Structure 1
Amino acid sequence: MALTDPVPSRERPPDAAESPRAKAMTIGAVCKALEQEFPDISISKIRYLEDQKLLTPRRTPGGYRLYAQTDVQRLRTILRLQRDEFLPLRVIRQELAAGREAATAAPAPAAAPETGDPPTDPRPRRRVSMSVQGRGASYSLEDVLEETQAQASLVAELEDYGVIRGEMRGGVKYFDETEREIIRAVTELARYGVGGRNLRAFRTSADREAALLQQILAPALRSRNVDRRKEALDALENLAAVTTHLKHLLLIRDLRKIVGPPLTPPDR
């Protein structure tokens, strides 16, 4: 993985104004255009995606990148697939080659096992940009309970088992975006009788994976070179997506063993 970019990046290359493609954008302009939807977007992240052969912007004679509107839309699709479906870059590359566009909606929630009726789903469609590079906004316990429809006792149980931590400020407990989404997910699991004590395996697995990824990228993450460290953070995001995808595949494989062969409809 390349950790340096010999081509200088500027907000506006000298020949951009004369470009026959009036809608072409510089890398800085692309970053600014997408930062509202993707707060963790950065120039180094866009360069990293180019290094991974996911983007191929046009180059000016002076070596500057220029992005057409199709390039910007492709980048938006890549970022949405990362954020909303947690797909690793290799899978995203395959999806794009097959003409895939980013999903715009999450599947409907499963029916509750006791009644068969679809439970009320308080979750907004996944729009939170989960990133290892920032904790995002903070939410008071009251706000979290209202948004997730979780019980205060469940939140306390998750704290007792170390699944979430929260932070006291001015006598008020606050949670970051990731912890809020953890609470939301566990609230859904609670409908099926899953409690905090059942989540130890998830916590242990996550701790081990984090330690493995830290070991893989430790030298680059500790680098004093700003560009090298930023690209290491982008690589860490991708590795996290890869491990998430792998866990999903392994789970599906094991669940198929539990379910057994598909039912054959009776002959008529």
Structure 2
Amino acid sequence: MSALRKTGPLPGVRHDRPSTLSIGAVLKQLRREFPDVTVSKLRFWESEGLVSPARTEKGYRRYSSADVQRLRYILTTQRDNYLPLKVIKQRLDAMDEGNVTPVTGLISAEQFKQENTRLTHSDVCAAAEIDDTFLTQLAKAGFVNADRSGLYCQDDVSIARTASQLVGFGLDERHLKTLRATAQRYAGVITQVSGPLGQAKSSDAKARSEETARELSALIVSLQAAFIKASLRGEFD
């Protein structure tokens, strides 16, 4: 699929003066659809071999339209289908050679992206379809946590909604605490791996750390789901 070639014009098409974009111009384009993309992330992907922009004599990056299409593919794949960067690179390389393989969606790494939304107590109740008393109980148990302004985030909505559904199946606070403790242990493992990456002096250190944390989160959740499925195998035969 030549539209995603790493660099250079499409085969068989003449380009006398191919237009290119600076990294700033590329960011401006991409942020219309992907507001969280950063310079450090683009540099990180370049260092990983996912995209190869041209360089001027002074070393400035210049992105072709094919490079931008390639970046859009990476961002869309991360948002809509969880795939580690190594696998994304393999698929891009296959597309460069004219081969196309289907994308298998698992847990999306983008689901673990930090959200900046701030919601009131009433907002959370409405979004999670729960009553005021239940949210108060969740807050008292420490399952959701308002900030100093008394506002919640989108993650609290997800927690509240899912907790309500689990309670509907007969689970109680004790079960929820067990699930939270397990999640906290996973978070500790993820931090041990991704945290040191953010301490490096390279310009893409923060992006590398955040990307690793999201990918590890998605992988761990996918593995845990597989373990649960395997554990239940044969129980209902």
**Structure 2-normalised TM-score?**
0.70
User: What CA deviation, in whole Å up to 9, does each residue of 1:145-203 have, x standing for no partner?
Assistant: 2223233333223323322201253xxx3112332333344445455445554332332
Match of 1:150 in 2: 130
**1:76 paired residue number:** 72
Instruction: Give the direction of change, closer, same or farther, for the CA distance of 1:220–1:88 in structure 2 (3 Å limit).
Output: closer
Aligned partner of residue 167 in structure 1, secondary structure:
coil
Gaps (5+ residues) in structure 1? 1-18, 107-125, 264-268
Letter in 2 for 1:179: D
- The aligned residue for residue 121 of structure 1 is none
1:259 paired to 2:227: no
Could you tell me how far 1:68 is from its partner in structure 2? Answer: 2.6
Question: How many residues were matched structurally?
Answer: 215
Amino acid paired to 1:147: A
Quick one: structure 1 residues 199 and 57, their matched pair in 2 at CA, closer, same or farther if it must change by over 3 Å?
farther
183 and 56 in structure 1: CA distance in 2 versus 1, 3 angstrom threshold: farther
Q: 1:197 to 1:159 in 2, by over 3 A?
A: farther
Change (3 A) 1:218 1:46: same
Secondary structure (helix, strand or coil) at the match of 1:21 reads coil
The alignment status of 1:91 with 2:87, answered yes or no, reads yes
Paired position in structure 2 for 1:237: 211
Letter of the aligned partner of 2:124 in structure 1?
V
The residue that corresponds to 1:52 in the other structure is: 48
Code of the residue aligned with 1:199 in structure 2: it is L
Over the aligned positions, Cα root-mean-square deviation in angstroms equals 3.6
* Equivalence for 1:159: 139
- Cα offset, 1:20, TM superposition: 1.9
Q: Distance in 2 between matches of 1:80 and 1:196?
A: 38
CA-CA distance at 1:45 after TM superposition: 0.9
Unaligned ranges ≥5, structure 2: 1-15, 95-99
Equivalent of 1:66, from 53, 62, 66? 62
What are the superposed Cα offsets for residues 82-127 of structure 1, whole Å, 9 maximum, x if unpaired?
Answer: 3344433233334544455798xx9xxxxxxxxxxxxxxxxxxx9x
- Structure 2 partner of 1:123: none
Q: 1:61 to 1:245 in 2, by over 3 A?
A: same
Structure 1 counterpart of 2:52, one-letter code: T
Q: Distance in 2 between matches of 1:237 and 1:208?
A: 19
Pair 1:215–1:249, CA change in 2 (3 A): closer
| Residues in 2 aligned to 1:239 and 1:260: alpha-carbon distance in whole angstroms | 34
> 26-35 vs 247-256, which deviates more?
247-256
Residue 157 to residue 95, structure 1, CA distance change in 2 (3 Å) = farther
Q: TM (normalized to structure 1)?
A: 0.63
Aligned equivalents of 2:81 and 2:166: distance in 1?
19
1:90, 1:221 → 2: CA distance? 20
